[in-house]
Structure 1
Amino acid sequence: MRIYYITSGYRRPIDMLDNAAMKALVSRNPETRFFLLNRSPIQHLIPEIEEFAPDLVLTLCGPKSHLPVDLIHRIRRMGIQTAVWFTDDPYAIDNASLVAAAYDVVFTIDSGCIPFYERMGCKRVFHLPLGTDPDVFRPFVTHPTYQSDVCFVGTGYQNRITFMEEMLRHVNRDVKVQLIGHFWESLNISDGCMPNIRKKWVNTSETVRYYNGAKVVLNIHRSHDDAFLDKNKTGVPGYSINNRTFDIAACNAFQLIDYRPDLDQCYTLGEEIISFSSPKECADLIHASVYDPSTQTEIAQKAYDRTLQNHTFTNRLDQMLTYLTSHE
């Protein structure tokens, strides 16, 4: 299959997903050509597609990026199949709703979004989670400055702030907690554990160091109707786990994750991954993991093995291409 891949044109962190997708495509499908939307004039897009004559035009859409609908229609009129992978569902699904129906096939990272796209008139909608790039997210010994008992890397959205304030009240003061990302300075902690806060966005290479340096990596999803982004006005639910889940596991790091309905479709609960449903339960699990780490190594190893077997970007592109060829 000749594939023409159009990048999102969006910078961090979506460019990391673009890079991983392009690498996976080439490994599985050498007849792939790329169009870098943020580096090439869009006027060159149609002539390049006409010259290459692909079987499939595929693009990845982040929270603020999408191709103009008229270009999608022009590509389809050439008799070329078009597919889009929405990577910020359901948080920015309002943006996706502007263009989704123009494509032949829609891939969404969250199963809770499928009914939404079907109501919009999308005929072929498929749930395809993101994956991880094991060349980037991998285990290694990191510098002591990145070491902690517990770390969380990510933006301090309101639901995470509220959760963390309650959780830290139940965490012992001797537990070393690191929070890395924007907005954590607004935490209101009067008792309990006082975290170390790094108030900035960190790049992928530093994120991997923090994952490898922590005894426990927290994974707290943002709310499906987060007010900061405010791009899910119809309240489409979030059922699926984020790609951070796979990235942490690919580092052979032990993670605690808030429960989502699709979690046990990817990992065996209690054996490959541990979930929590409240701040107090999370604090109790932190204590058990930090003070008695005998079981966490085995769980992390099982999650690591499962991830490399089933949850890489190469796995996802295999699933995508299998779907596209079997539903033509």
Structure 2
Amino acid sequence: MKKILFFQWHSFMNKGMERALQKLEIPYDTFFYQFEDWEHDDRFLELFRKKIKECAYTDVLSVNFSPLVSQICEEVAIPYTAWVYDSPIHIRDTKCLFRSCNRLFFFDRGQAEEYQKAGVCAYHMPLAVDTDVFHMNVSRKEREIYKTDVSLVGKVYQTEYAYFTAPLTDYIKGYLEGIVNAQMKVYGGYLIPELVTQELLDHMNGEYAKVATDGFQMGRQELEFMLACETTGRERYMALALLSGHYNVDLYSTDKETRLPKVHMKGYADYYTQMPLVFSQSKINLNISLKTIKTGIPLRVTDVMGCGGFVLSNYQQELEEYFVIGEECVVYENLQDMFIKAKYYLEHEEERKRIAMAGLERVKRDFTFENRLHRMFNEV
């Protein structure tokens, strides 16, 4: 008989996973802790080690991968299952991924395959949504507050790209711009790792050595992530600038973007109390994926559909595999195509609503937490 210890932090998906464990009648306890440093925390190790020894737990479960949870599970020889919704995994030392206790489920097939090839116990598992968690009886006042033509929930990715490229030669700057521009033209593929060469890193670090008094050197992972964020940030900025010149556009983000005067800056939207209202009351919900996501369907997409919202997304390979494009969601091929499709669906309300309803029915049927957790613990 399984008894799971569900490690929780301030993440998404906790409620849906708990409800699924209850429906599947899998006994579990929860342990909550919010890290300041995910890789070094002696107090956590002491508390979690004590907790895990209190009961005969058969498994430990978490949203995203915690190196310190993995460390304790390895010590006590308990399987550790982590369902990852981030891309990339934000840890500095990746050696901990190879521990024998780990079973890592990635929402992005491309990421899962990459880790599988490296020897990590990695599987592909698309994300899920609990539509009951997001169901709300919307008041007339709430409709007035949240209704808009287009909304985007998420970061605008204001990077330090300009700062880190300032000391570099014009040639290196031009090469980096070429990488960003090439990636911006490609939808459904992640080119940046192939274009970041060791020669490029060596040239960059040679320039940094001339000016950095602290010995700073740019690593491959750091450069690839910075370029991916810069590319995504530019695409989001251009999309919002283009649409806000013609329609009411709301941005829900902790980022401040002063270059978009026509966009309504709405600030942070709480995941459970506000986000469902944003998604259900926006005529179009934009999804512009972070470029590090190779094939996967971001959590934002399943959440929008789970709230009954209409999704207009950049192309992702798995969207085409799991949904009927044009009937359950809509995909754009470039920014011009995005604008044309936004205009069309804003002018065709019944078709837009029909697609949103079909998307909701699809995630209700095929993207449940019960199905995902059953597969994790019984089929894989």
**Structure-2 separation of matches of 1:296 and 1:216:** 9
Contact 1:4–1:35, Cα closer than 8 Å, also in 2: no
What is residue 91 of structure 1 aligned with on the other side? 88
What is residue 124 of structure 2 aligned with on the other side? 127
User: How many pairs does the alignment contain?
Assistant: 296
TM-score of the pair, normalised by structure 1: 0.81
What is residue 293 of structure 1 aligned with on the other side? 349
1:33-52 paired onto structure 2 within 5 Å: 33-38=29-34, 42-52=45-55
What is residue 277 of structure 1 aligned with on the other side? 333
**Structure-1 separation of matches of 2:263 and 2:354:** 27
Paired amino acid for 1:85: W
Name which of 284, 287, 290 aligns with 1:216: 284
1:240 is displaced (CA, Å) by: 0.1
1:310 is displaced (CA, Å) by: 1.1
What is residue 263 of structure 2 aligned with on the other side? 195
Paired amino acid for 1:37: Y
Contact 2:240–2:260, Cα closer than 8 Å, also in 1: no
- Name the SS for the 2:337 alignment partner: helix
What is residue 249 of structure 2 aligned with on the other side? 177
TM-score of the pair, normalised by structure 2: 0.70
CA separation of 1:186/1:169 partners in 2, compared to 1, >3 Å: closer, same or farther? closer
What is residue 133 of structure 2 aligned with on the other side? 136
What is residue 228 of structure 1 aligned with on the other side? none
- Name the SS for the 2:13 alignment partner: helix
1:9-158 paired onto structure 2 within 5 Å: 9=9, 11=10, 14=11, 16-38=12-34, 42-61=45-64, 65-67=66-68, 69-76=70-77, 80-88=78-86, 90-92=87-89, 94-95=91-92, 97-102=94-99, 103-122=101-120, 124-138=121-135, 140-141=137-138, 142-157=142-157, 158=230
Paired amino acid for 1:156: V
- Name the SS for the 1:294 alignment partner: helix
Paired amino acid for 2:104: V
- Name the SS for the 1:271 alignment partner: coil
1:212 is displaced (CA, Å) by: 1.6
CA separation of 1:69/1:322 partners in 2, compared to 1, >3 Å: closer, same or farther? closer
Name which of 307, 311, 315 aligns with 2:367: 311
1:184 is displaced (CA, Å) by: 4.6
Q: Quick check: which has more Rg, 1 or 2?
A: 2
Contact 2:244–2:263, Cα closer than 8 Å, also in 1: no
What is residue 323 of structure 1 aligned with on the other side? 379
CA deviations over 1:34-70 (Å, ceiling 9, x no partner): 22234995424344434422332223326xx432554
Paired amino acid for 2:7: T
Paired amino acid for 1:179: L
CA separation of 1:281/1:49 partners in 2, compared to 1, >3 Å: closer, same or farther? same
Contact 1:59–1:84, Cα closer than 8 Å, also in 2: yes
**Structure-1 separation of matches of 2:32 and 2:242:** 48
CA separation of 1:49/1:167 partners in 2, compared to 1, >3 Å: closer, same or farther? closer
Which deviates further from its counterpart, 159-168 or 207-216? 159-168
1:157-176 paired onto structure 2 within 5 Å: 157=157, 158-168=230-240, 170-171=242-243, 173-176=245-248
1:105 is displaced (CA, Å) by: 1.8
**Structure-2 separation of matches of 1:134 and 1:172:** 30
1:110 is displaced (CA, Å) by: 1.1
Paired amino acid for 1:3: K
Contact 1:86–1:96, Cα closer than 8 Å, also in 2: no
**Structure-2 separation of matches of 1:96 and 1:311:** 32
Unaligned 5+ segments in structure 2 are: 36-42, 158-229
**Structure-1 separation of matches of 2:92 and 2:71:** 16
1:309 is displaced (CA, Å) by: 0.8
Identical columns (%): 21
Residue 5 of structure 1 pairs with residue 61 of structure 2: no
- Name the SS for the 2:317 alignment partner: coil
**Structure-1 separation of matches of 2:32 and 2:83:** 16
Which deviates further from its counterpart, 279-288 or 163-172? 163-172
**Structure-1 separation of matches of 2:54 and 2:254:** 44
CA separation of 1:37/1:94 partners in 2, compared to 1, >3 Å: closer, same or farther? closer
1:228-307 paired onto structure 2 within 5 Å: 238-307=294-363
CA deviations over 1:74-114 (Å, ceiling 9, x no partner): 121xxx333222231x2235447242211342211211112
Contact 2:108–2:126, Cα closer than 8 Å, also in 1: yes
**Structure-1 separation of matches of 2:374 and 2:27:** 15
CA separation of 1:175/1:69 partners in 2, compared to 1, >3 Å: closer, same or farther? closer
Larger relative helix fraction: 2
**Aligned-pair RMSD on alpha carbons?**
2.6
**Structure-1 separation of matches of 2:240 and 2:83:** 37
